[in-house]
Structure 1
């Protein structure tokens, strides 16, 4: 396939390819990862483009030779995805500081779909909050914060209160150690928000696992964290490859199921170190709850699944059938007085049952001698709290 055929195949979405070609022709050396992130285009698409271009190489970096560059420089700069770019020069020191904090932060866990956002992205998120909303006296809840967005918000908007709910104890400890006044809560969102974080915030921001299940759950918990049900907003980072529009549609359907109004989408606003399958980029959604959101949220969290990630034991693909739970043969001999968690319906049908989230959130009314608790794969971090609740 020739370069012209690639452009023709891309149709109206060919601007991203022309942008990549212009970068390769500007004299700089480019790595594949840098091209993916700069153009917000999937790795597969960029690889297909590189195969059709005349390139010179310096190690793993490439560019179009200077004597041919004039034939390819298409000049396709665009800034529609970045409404705060005019402020970035003012906050260069903040970007540098956030970059240092990200470099020293605990390494991401692939089983939690951790991919670090760039320091530039984290600062732009904080700036957008201040440009779009009135932050003095406002409360901002980060629903998961491996990216350290909370620290940027506190640095740029110290007049706002900021809290983080996250499953990763290492991240919470790291945030506390910066002494910027960020409140931290441990939370496995599949089990619920901590009571003190419910109805606390005016704004919530989340960068969840990019599955329909993950986005739906994190956004539902973000909604539960809002105290201002009329004017509150949820900011969501979500990205999909230009090759997989059906996946994006499923995610948007999950948002529609929550009866959320999409006020704005800033395309490719978020950039990442990694996630090249989706162009190392994600859109930023501004979502507004409606009166129908709250019953929809309650319905969703009542039916939520524990498999919400893209990889590891908690991934959607590796979710096991309920009948595959280990140890079922020994439950009757154990003779529990109560079943906690997600057990098969035909197992000891006369025994009382309670959800794991309920068991962790408040004391059980009765006092059974023996309790059988089903802890799904990937919920190992909740085990100390399960024991305390028991």
Structure 2
């Protein structure tokens, strides 16, 4: 270690040298540290810690670093009087940054909930692995518990409704553990996460309502105008933050009193990125009620110091109009990586499967973004509109263009129409369609060739359970429980409406106030079994 090099780095950092001094204080404890742990403990970018390690020249063993005794003495000399205050030794057993640092609003409460932290550690370890194309980075167990604690200390949660706009971090489960009286809804595009949350919530004995949605196509109707609070940890692009926060606002039932909690972070060297994101929040006319620096910590995201601030945003009277004007303008690219990233550019010209509207197949409606010169007299509909409400006409043939990154919406786009024949054009060849074919087998026969999927509507089945299931799926925009109730009464005329609804609540408690289009894939599978169970319900339920 060269004293001048370390001292020069600290001097060059100016007022931001605190983070480097904290990192040096940790190394002065003589313990082994990985680069990732130093990044997370100090909320300093990987580049910043790497620069510090180059100057400090610590001993190295594999991926771990520590200072030798003579280096510790020199380091303490560089730190001066600060050494005693920054040398906190290893981070606490709860995994958070050592003192000193910005005051943690709920850090003092965390030791009382060590059992919840321990449970969340296990839940996060067993959760589906993150998908880099969806910008998934797991928050630490301590972070999600602290989010739940902050919600409970800042707001009155008894009988309150919380909307999680995306929940790869499992914040919903932490909230239910600490505040079981809170009504929690999760909206996510990742089917695996929704299934895992449902499975774990049932195992733990509480209810979390899960809804599928690609937020670029809209917030599910069952989540609109309902929540008192919303929380989101979105893709860290201006487009991603703007879209997720806009959908969170749409979920609030009273914007004058509701709040949106946002996790967002940028590296200490990239303030312009943060400014662009904050400009997207400004465009929504949101008030910053609070910003807690480095509140969120992550396993990964080392470019931003494995940390993100927590914003508390309050809508103003101008927020709803701004959301209405902007929410549906966000394009497919909202992520930082992959085909759905901001940098990704869609191929020029027609969709790859533009021939889906040719070779004798003449659609009566074109859904999605088709070339303007293709069938110019054919009516058109946006993907979001197609999912939001039934199409006014009853087309026999429809053609749907699905851009890259929206393939997960394909089953819902097909269920949203009663056309006898649908052709779907995708940006890339579909590959194995077995799972989609199984999901839609009560309604469609699917065949795929390259980037074109053909869906031919099947005749209604003859068995009673099949007919009832088909009636439900054919009315995908309608409230599931209502359609189911009416079909059940037709099959069992002795049932009253109240009795039929009681049967449905018993066999499918997740079916209330949702549509088929909002159901996660695992609930669509459960629906088949539940429909049969409702027809065979014991007399006591009737």
Tell me which residue corresponds to 1:343.
370
1:245: Cα distance to partner? Answer: 1.0
Q: Where do 1:125-164 residues align within 5 Å?
A: 125-164=147-186
Q: Output the CA distance in 2 between the equivalents of 1:206 and 1:308.
A: 15
Asked if 1:327 is matched to 2:373, the reply is no
SS at match of 2:164: strand
Tell me which residue corresponds to 1:197.
223
Tell me which residue corresponds to 1:37.
40
Tell me which residue corresponds to 1:280.
306
Tell me which residue corresponds to 2:111.
89
How many residues of Structure 1 are paired with residues of Structure 2 in the alignment?
Answer: 390
Question: Structure 2: where are the runs of 5+ without partners?
Answer: 77-82, 87-98, 418-542
Tell me which residue corresponds to 1:206.
232
Deviation per residue, 1:54-112 (Å, 9 max, x gap): 41223321112223324424333334252101001101110000000000111111111
Preserved CA contact (<8 Å) 1:313 1:378: yes
Q: Output the CA distance in 2 between the equivalents of 1:322 and 1:204.
A: 38
Q: Output the CA distance in 1 between the equivalents of 2:14 and 2:376.
A: 58
Asked if 1:261 is matched to 2:287, the reply is yes
Deviation per residue, 1:39-63 (Å, 9 max, x gap): 1111111101100004122332111
Deviation per residue, 1:105-145 (Å, 9 max, x gap): 11111111111000000100000001111111111110000
Tell me which residue corresponds to 1:371.
398
Q: Output the CA distance in 2 between the equivalents of 1:216 and 1:84.
A: 27
Asked if 1:111 is matched to 2:133, the reply is yes
Which deviates the most, 72-81 or 357-366?
72-81
Normalised TM-score (structure 2): 0.70
Question: Structure 1: where are the runs of 5+ without partners?
Answer: none
Normalised TM-score (structure 1): 0.96
1:321: Cα distance to partner? Answer: 4.8
SS at match of 2:366: strand
Tell me which residue corresponds to 1:23.
26
Preserved CA contact (<8 Å) 2:216 2:328: no
SS at match of 2:280: helix
Preserved CA contact (<8 Å) 1:322 1:343: no
Q: Output the CA distance in 2 between the equivalents of 1:322 and 1:370.
A: 26
Q: Output the CA distance in 1 between the equivalents of 2:317 and 2:23.
A: 44
Q: Output the CA distance in 1 between the equivalents of 2:75 and 2:258.
A: 47
Q: Output the CA distance in 2 between the equivalents of 1:200 and 1:42.
A: 38
1:324: Cα distance to partner? Answer: 5.1
Tell me which residue corresponds to 2:207.
181
| Cα separation, partners in 2 of 1:340 and 1:330, compared to 1, 3 Å | closer
SS at match of 1:2: helix
Deviation per residue, 1:297-351 (Å, 9 max, x gap): 1111231211111111111111315625213356355432212112334443333
Q: Output the CA distance in 1 between the equivalents of 2:210 and 2:402.
A: 24
SS at match of 1:325: coil
Q: Output the CA distance in 1 between the equivalents of 2:46 and 2:57.
A: 18
CA RMSD between the two structures: 1.5
Q: Output the CA distance in 2 between the equivalents of 1:347 and 1:7.
A: 62
- Tell which structure's C-alpha radius of gyration is larger: 2
Q: Output the CA distance in 2 between the equivalents of 1:79 and 1:279.
A: 15
